[in-house]
Structure 1
Amino acid sequence: MSYRELRNFCEMSRTLGYPRLLSIENFRTPNFKLVAEILEWVVKRFEPNASLSASQTTTEQDRVLFIKQAVLLLLQNSRLKLNPKKLYQADGHAVQELLPAMKLLYSAARTGNEEDVQSQWNSVKSRLGTKMQEARIARQISTQLPNTAASLHELLGKQILFAKQRERAISRSIPLSEAEKAVQQSILAIVAETESITTKLNNVSTDEAALDEKIERKKREYEQMQKRYAKLQQYVLKFRNLSYMQQLQVEIEKAEHVRQATNHEGCLE
Structure 2
Amino acid sequence: MSYKDLRSLTEMMRALGYPRLISLENFRQPNFGLVAEMMIWLVKRFEPNADLPTELDTEQDRVILVRSVVQFMANKAHIKLNPKKLYQADGYAVKELIKVTSVLYNAMKGNALTSGDDETNDTDLPTFDIGSKLSQLKQTRKLGSKITMKGATLYDLLGKEIDLREKRQAVLAKNLEIQDVEVGLRNSIKMVDTEIKKVQHNIENVQSNESALDAKIEKKKVELDRNQKRLLTLKKVRPAFMDEYEKLEVELKKCYDEYMLRFRSLTYLEQQIDEFERVEQERMEERQNATRKIIERMKQDENTKASEDMLSDGEDLDDTEDEEDEVVDTRETRVPSKPEPEQRRPGKSARNRPAGPNSNRRVYGSMTGGEDDDSLDSDSDMLLDEDSADSEELEVNEMAAAELKNRKSAKAKLVTQAAENSDGDF
Specify the TM-score bucket, using the shorter chain as the normaliser: 0.3 to 0.5
Give the alignment's TM-score, normalised by structure 1. 0.46
1 or 2, which has the higher helix percentage?
1
Compare relative contact order (CA 8 Å, sep 6+) and give the higher one, 1 or 2.
1
Structure of larger gyration radius: 2
